[in-house]
Amino acid sequence: MSSIKPLRVLTLLLVTTLACNLFQPINDLQPPTPFAFFTPIPELAETPNPLFPATRVPGEPILTPTPDAPHAVPDIRGNAIEYVVQANDTLGTISVAFDVSVEEIIANNTIPNPDVLPVGQLLYIPAPEPASQAPDFKIIPDSELINGPVNAYFDVQAYVQNQGGYLASYNEEIGQEFLSGAQIVDRVAWDYSVNPRLLLAVLEYQSNWVSNPNPGENTRLYPIGRYDSWREGLYRQLTWTADNLNRGYYLWKANAAGAWTTVGGEAIPTNPVINPGTAGVQHMFAGLYSEAIWRNVVSESGFFQTYQNMFGYPFDLAIEPLVPDNLIQPALQLPFEDTVAWTFTGGPHGGWDNGSAWAALDFAPPKEELGCVQNDAWVVAMADGMIVRSDNGAVVQDLDGDGFFQTGWSIFYLHIETRDRVPIGTVLQAGDRIGHPSCEGGVSSGTHVHLARRYNGEWVEATGPTPFIMDGWVPVGTGVLYDGYMQRGDETIEACQCKDPGHQVGR
């Protein structure tokens, strides 16, 4: 038997320099300035973003980024195995762990519903078929994959409307509301913390939805080209895209990406000198193409050209390092009131969906029954800061005072009930009330609060070099999704989806 490799995120210092050799692009590559649709909030207009890159000097030569120092990559599995489905497994996580495509797993097993894997089911996992090594061409810097500092000023709506493509007139019902195409891009970028410009570029490359008011009929249901019946529409296509961009990015940072598995089943060994941003793009496109087409897509004449034509040379926008290797977390308290102990229900798991870093921890309030039931307990602010998002069960608190979650530290609170939820723009002190725990937002089987941290937009692993410490409680992972402990001095509390008082944590 084998087990899934844990998605562990190491905070790395990745510095991209420029080589001496000139890169000669396919076309003249004189794109419109990428800053035309960057509109600072009025009250902050007099205070330039200190992380905002300088505009390229006209006529300045474009240089090829030098390769990164060789990165540790795991070996590719050489034999077929059997695997027993564990709690929280998905076909996507199993596919990545064992370097085979989802389609191969389905073809070799009896899986009536790809969205439901019974715990305990025995799966036959064929051996991957290694191809030649992936290219070392660096497509984007890390900061162009993350919804980070530059995007604090990017106006998605203005850009989409200016392009005048199909996306500008598109709308779709999501939950109980209709969202425009730009609103969908914005929501996915916020939820997954993925660069909205990257999502727009992928959409344009795959279907021309951004620039063409009448793209091909074959793109209308599946504009990204992921042809799964349960992923119809722009929203589900973009959530797949964002999750897989994240998955490649954070797997690479965790030294857990040995190969990119294409839809054709080829396992392409990863190149050790690329950067995490490029890894994210390579991984995502592997989920759309067979090897031969994929190699063209991730070359300098492929997707890179579209990105550059839309937003300028991506390495001009690089912020490095996006997350410093000596990052220090500000003091945080547990997210509940002094007199109440909550159950520690979830150890390290994804900040949002499956592809992001294991940045999140879960806590449930005292309650008489399990499941999604209304609860009057309060989730409270873990630190001082402004609320910059409050919708769809999500509350985001900016801790550095500039009003943007994309810069500095921010806290993500999920499953906050609409009733009594703190409004956007509120400035809170640590301990002030945010709202009640619930099942609203995301996917939840029981009333609780899901907590995660981001720095400059990047998900920060709960048990990494900068651990998610609250009131002196330190999280400890086991390498198993949702499993783990909270430790403070001689006290140890194990995660448990239960009501047992022995699993409760107090301030």
Q: Mind spelling out the 3-state secondary structure of 108-126?
A: CCCCCCCCCCCCCCEEEEC
Bridge-based pairing state of the strands 266-269 and 427-428: unpaired
pLDDT at 43: 42
Domain-wise residue ranges, the chain: 18-28+133-317, 81-127, 342-505
pLDDT at 131: 78
pLDDT range class, residue 67, cuts 50, 70, 90: confident
pLDDT range class, residue 367, cuts 50, 70, 90: confident
Buried b (16+ CB within 10 A) or exposed e, 469-489: ebeebebbbeebbbbbbbeee
Contact 95, 127 (CB under 8 A): no
Q: How many residues does this entry show for the chain?
A: 507
The predicted model gives 288-293 an average pLDDT of 96
pLDDT at 265: 84
64 or 278, higher pLDDT = 278
Nearest to 432 by CA among 411, 409, 450: 411
pLDDT at position 22 over 70? no
pLDDT range class, residue 64, cuts 50, 70, 90: confident
Question: Running DSSP on this structure, what letter comes out for residue 105?
Answer: H
pLDDT at position 50 over 70? no
pLDDT at 142: 97
SS (H, E, C) 134-198: CCCCCCCCHHHCECCHHHHHECHHHHHHHHCCHHHHCEEEECCEEEEHHHHHHHHHHHHCECHHH
The helix (H) or strand (E) run that includes residue 207 is helix 196-207
Q: Strand ranges (DSSP E) for 284-376?
A: 342-349, 360-364
pLDDT at position 24 over 80? no
Contact 426, 377 (CB under 8 A): no
The helix (H) or strand (E) run that includes residue 452 is strand 449-455
pLDDT at 101: 79
pLDDT range class, residue 25, cuts 50, 70, 90: very low
pLDDT tens for each residue of 300-325: 999 999 999 999 899 988 998 999 99
The predicted model gives 159-185 an average pLDDT of 96
Hey, CA dihedral for 291, 307, 168, 48, is it positive or negative? positive
The predicted model gives 418-428 an average pLDDT of 97
Task: List the single range of 268-272, 273-277, 418-422, 443-447 with lowest mean pLDDT.
Answer: 443-447
pLDDT at 489: 95
pLDDT at 187: 97
The predicted model gives 202-219 an average pLDDT of 97
Contact 175, 351 (CB under 8 A): no
Hey, CA dihedral for 275, 277, 282, 283, is it positive or negative? positive
Amino acid at residue number 493: I
pLDDT at 104: 83
Contact 333, 21 (CB under 8 A): no
pLDDT range class, residue 36, cuts 50, 70, 90: low
pLDDT range class, residue 38, cuts 50, 70, 90: low
Amino acid at residue number 275: N
Contact 104, 127 (CB under 8 A): no
pLDDT tens for each residue of 149-167: 999 989 999 999 999 999 9
Most confident of 7-11, 109-113, 153-157, 414-418: 414-418
The helix (H) or strand (E) run that includes residue 20 is strand 18-22
pLDDT at position 147 over 50? yes
Just give the CATH number of 81-127. 3.10.350.10
The predicted model gives 249-262 an average pLDDT of 95
pLDDT at 307: 96
> Cα separation of 246 and 321, whole Å?
18
Report domain 342-505's class: mainly beta
pLDDT at position 6 over 50? no
pLDDT at position 507 over 50? yes
Most confident of 10-14, 32-36, 70-74, 99-103: 70-74
44 or 378, higher pLDDT = 378
Which segments of 267-357 does DSSP mark as H helices, in order? 276-286, 291-297, 303-311
257 or 104, higher pLDDT = 257
pLDDT at 127: 82
pLDDT range class, residue 376, cuts 50, 70, 90: very high
**Is the bond preceding residue 215 a cis peptide, omega within 30 degrees?**
no
pLDDT at 130: 75
Nearest to 100 by CA among 112, 110, 92: 92
pLDDT at position 344 over 90? yes
pLDDT tens for each residue of 430-458: 999 999 999 999 888 899 999 999 999 99
> Cα separation of 11 and 460, whole Å?
8
pLDDT at position 7 over 60? no
